[in-house]
């Protein structure tokens, strides 16, 4: 029941996002043809506006857009005359998703490891080393790290290839650049919350009945300390998505992030809306899954007044 309700509100959320994005887009003064309007005769311009429905009243444009959206048609791109938004997203999806998922997984794995190690060796050398690494990771933004990685790892020392997008090796440097900050943030969250959990009674009980350390850490420690971490996965995901904007720009990766940034400067309405809606769907679904997972990790958290 709860799941059905949440699914319904998810759709409402998406509708609100589509509407807001649509309104915001059309509040921006200037239209896509504003720059070369002098070179093109008025009649041609009219035709071009008509082609993209820009001559119709805003309400009609909105209805048309919603109708197309229901058939998963995100419309044509204005800038590149031959391809539509669906094609653009499909084209950019593979590099972006690969980059995003790889760095999320790397961040979760390395972050939880680093945080747990630090908490288990509280105030000892390993704790300080882990937290120093985390501190560096938080302090150095990806758009500073990425050019340095290119200069040293790729150009100076020639360890890994860049400036092309072909083999898996090409994904390593961008993935690392994207994951560094999330690793550090997750490590700190896990450490803080793990330290708290390790002082709980049930941990002492587990120790007292002679459970091996790894079992205490995995079954009792990690599971209980992941709640603050969970509420961070949403923003983490959003930051990885926005991170792909700069990382794709610096590494010249043909992903959705690149199309999105380009479309903003070009006032390419359909592409802006299409990519925004695409990101929104992925994000909203992710948040939904996170909300559900709270319950699996800690049954004490009630999802609604009727449940449990």
Partner 1 sequence: MNVTSTKLDQPLDHLFHPVDRSQLADQTLAYTSVPMWKDKIRKLVRNKLAVIGLALLLLIMLLAAIGPSLLPHSPSAQSLTQTNLPPSAEHWFGTDDLGRDVWARTWAGARISLLIGFAAAAIDLIIGIIVGGISGYMAGRSRFGDRIDSILMRIVEILYSIPYLLVIILLLVVMKPGILTMIVALSITGWVGMARVVRGQMLLLKQQEYVLAASKLGTSHAKIIFKHLLPNAAGIIIVNLTFTIPAAIFSESFLSFLGLGVQAPIASWGTMANDSLGVILSGQWWRLFFPGFMISLTMFAFNAFGDGLQDVLDPRSHQ
Residues that bind partner 1 (CB under 8 A): 9, 12-13, 16-17, 20-21, 24, 27-29, 122-123, 131, 135-136, 138-141, 143-144, 147-148, 150-151, 155, 185, 188-189, 192-193, 195-196, 199, 227-228, 230-232, 234-235, 238, 241-242, 245-246, 249-250, 260-261, 264-265, 272, 276, 279-280, 283-284, 287, 294, 298, 300-302, 304-305
Query: Shortest distance, CB of residue 196 to partner 1, whole angstroms?
Result: 6
With residue 225 as reference, give the H or E element that holds it: helix 223-250
Q: Looking at beta carbons only, is 110 or 272 nearer to partner 1?
A: 272
Query: Shortest distance, CB of residue 249 to partner 1, whole angstroms?
Result: 8
Query: Shortest distance, CB of residue 172 to partner 1, whole angstroms?
Result: 19
Q: Looking at beta carbons only, is 50 or 147 nearer to partner 1?
A: 147
Q: How many CB atoms lie within 10 A of CB 183?
A: 25
Q: Looking at beta carbons only, is 109 or 128 nearer to partner 1?
A: 128
Query: Shortest distance, CB of residue 128 to partner 1, whole angstroms?
Result: 9
Q: Which residues of 270-291 are buried (b: 16+ CB within 10 A; e: fewer)?
A: bbbbbbbbbbbeebbebbbeeb
Q: Looking at beta carbons only, is 106 or 284 nearer to partner 1?
A: 284
Q: Where are the alpha helices (DSSP H) in 31-149?
A: 42-51, 58-70, 85-120, 125-139, 142-149
Q: Looking at beta carbons only, is 3 or 44 nearer to partner 1?
A: 3
Query: Shortest distance, CB of residue 43 to partner 1, whole angstroms?
Result: 29
Query: Shortest distance, CB of residue 255 to partner 1, whole angstroms?
Result: 14
In terms of Cα–Cα distance, which of 2, 49, 50 is closest to 294? 2
Residue 137 sits at φ, ψ, to 5 deg, of -60, -40
Q: Looking at beta carbons only, is 81 or 300 nearer to partner 1?
A: 300
**Measured distance CA(248)–CA(262) in Å, rounded:** 12
Q: Is the dihedral of CA 74, 77, 78, 79 positive or negative?
A: positive
Concatenated DSSP letters of 132-189: HHHHHHHHS-HHHHHHHHIIIIIIIS--S--SS--STHHHHHHHHHHHHHHHHHHHHH
């Amino acid at each position: 029941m709860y799941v059905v309700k949440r699914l319904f509100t998810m759709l409402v959320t998406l509708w609100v996002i589509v509407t807001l994005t649509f309104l915001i887009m059309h509040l921006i003064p200037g239209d896509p043809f504003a720059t070369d309007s002098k070179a093109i005769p008025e009649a041609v311009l009219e035709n071009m506006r008509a082609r993209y429905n820009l001559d119709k009243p805003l309400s009609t444009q909105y209805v048309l857009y919603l109708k197309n959206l229901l058939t998963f048609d995100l419309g044509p791109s204005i800038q590149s005359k031959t391809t539509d938004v669906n094609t653009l997203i499909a084209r950019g999806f593979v590099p972006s998703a690969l980059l995003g998922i790889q760095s999320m997984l790397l961040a979760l794995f390395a972050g939880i490891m680093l945080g747990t190690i630090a908490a288990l060796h509280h105030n000892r050398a390993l704790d300080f080393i882990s937290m120093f690494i985390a501190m560096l990771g938080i302090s150095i933004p990806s758009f500073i790290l990425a050019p340095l990685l290119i200069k040293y790892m790729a150009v100076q020392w020639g360890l890994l290839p860049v400036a092309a997008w072909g083999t898996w090796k090409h994904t390593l440097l961008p993935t690392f650049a994207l994951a560094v900050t999330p690793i550090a943030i997750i490590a700190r969250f896990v450490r803080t919350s793990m330290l708290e959990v390790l002082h709980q009674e049930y941990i002492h009980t587990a120790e007292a009945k002679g459970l091996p350390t790894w079992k205490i850490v995995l079954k009792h420690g990690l599971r209980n300390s992941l709640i603050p971490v969970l509420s961070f996965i949403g923003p983490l995901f959003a930051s990885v998505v926005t991170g792909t904007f700069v990382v794709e720009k610096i590494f010249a990766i043909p992903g959705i992030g690149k199309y999105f940034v380009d479309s903003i400067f070009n006032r390419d309405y359909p592409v802006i809306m299409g990519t925004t809606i695409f990101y929104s769907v992925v994000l909203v679904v992710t948040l939904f899954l996170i909300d559900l997972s709270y319950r699996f990790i800690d049954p004490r958290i009630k999802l609604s007044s009727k449940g449990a």
